[in-house]
Amino acid sequence: MGVNDIAGCVRANGPFARTRVGRILVGMAGKQDKAEVQAAKTARKAESKAKRGQIWQAFKMQRKDDPWLIPWMVGVIVVVTGIVFGLGLLFDIQWMALPVGIMFGVLGAVIVFGRRVQKNVFAKADGQPGAGAWALENLKRGWRVTPTVAATTQLDAVHRALGRPGVVLVAEGAPHRVKTLLAQEKKRIARLIGDTPIYDFIIGNEEGQVPLSKLQSKMTKLPRNLGPKQVDALETRLSALASRGAAMPKGPLPQGAKMRNVQRTMRRR
């Protein structure tokens, strides 16, 4: 029964049909709500199934690369369960503590699995071009990342992250080249943001550099110097800087002008 049929029924039967029509409308609304709830439930099940599949695939891949994964996970479960069971013995509640110990043991094994997967991923990415940008883009919420704000033809690059600490510049590539590239970008940004703190890191395993696996933790430990509104305003200003830096002089070159003079003018801007 459609809406037009219901309206016709009301007109034909008068006010006595209103109660019946009301019941029909309530029934239709109830069926629609049930359908929406069922659709949402199906979507949640599909999402949960997809996540479990991803975890299982990650486990199989990690097990191939890490032969100590399963011994570590089993060892954590046994040790944690044994500790909780031993504590239960002191209070004569060991059998009640056993399920709790197993639960905590499984949780510990999952944490170990996640840590070893993360370590393996960073080890594979270390030294690869673009690894710094990848690490920045996987930071927790609150950071605005702009990859490759400066680069060379040798795949050296400087990436920028903006957050509560201020501006963070992360360079990757040959140290003797990225130091100059980093200094130039830092000077260019400092002209625009004034006293806002600027931090810089060079990814690497030499003295004075930050290993790729420790970059995220290093950045999250920086002090919070800015509020959310200040971060938003700073992002707008930096976006304007990027647009201005990408602009080329309009119109034909004056007669006798050299390309070096044009490049010098662009750098001053």
Q: What is the pLDDT of residues 196-247, one digit of tens each?
A: 899 999 988 888 888 888 888 888 889 998 888 888 888 888 887 665 444 3
pLDDT of residue 36: 76
**240 and 135 within one domain:** yes
Q: Does residue 251 sit within a domain?
A: no
Q: Does residue 258 sit within a domain?
A: no
pLDDT of residue 20: 58
Taking the alpha carbons at both ends of the chain, their separation in whole angstroms is: 70
Q: Does residue 74 sit within a domain?
A: yes
Q: Tell me the pLDDT band of 168, cut-offs 50, 70 and 90.
A: very high
Q: Tell me which range, 30-34, 162-166, 241-245, is most confidently predicted by mean pLDDT.
A: 162-166
Whole-model pTM above 0.85?
no
Q: Tell me which range, 153-157, 158-162, 194-198, is most confidently predicted by mean pLDDT.
A: 158-162
**79 and 9 within one domain:** no
Q: Does residue 59 sit within a domain?
A: no
**33 and 102 within one domain:** no
Q: What percent of the chain has pLDDT over 70?
A: 77
**185 and 209 within one domain:** yes
Q: Which domain holds residue 105?
A: 66-125
Of 79, 94, 125, the last residue of a domain is 125
pLDDT in tens, 46-104: 877 787 787 788 778 878 888 888 899 999 999 999 999 999 998 888 899 999 999 99
**118 and 147 within one domain:** no
Q: Does residue 224 sit within a domain?
A: yes
Q: Does residue 84 sit within a domain?
A: yes
Q: Does residue 253 sit within a domain?
A: no
pLDDT of residue 207: 83
Question: Residue 30 pLDDT more than 90?
Answer: no
**75 and 39 within one domain:** no
Question: Residue 252 pLDDT more than 50?
Answer: no
Q: Are strands 144-151 and 198-202 parallel, antiparallel or unpaired?
A: unpaired
**232 and 151 within one domain:** yes
* Whole-number Å distance between alpha carbons of 254 and 67: 68
Counting Cβ atoms within 10 Å, is residue 32 exposed (0-12), middle (13-18) or buried (19+)? exposed
**225 and 151 within one domain:** yes
**201 and 114 within one domain:** no
**135 and 227 within one domain:** yes
Question: Residue 106 pLDDT more than 70?
Answer: yes
pLDDT of residue 241: 65
- Count of the separate structural domains present in the chain: 3
Of 178, 199, 181, 188, nearest to 237 (Cα)?
188
pLDDT of residue 4: 52
**233 and 138 within one domain:** yes
Question: Residue 268 pLDDT more than 90?
Answer: no
Q: Does residue 108 sit within a domain?
A: yes
**209 and 153 within one domain:** yes
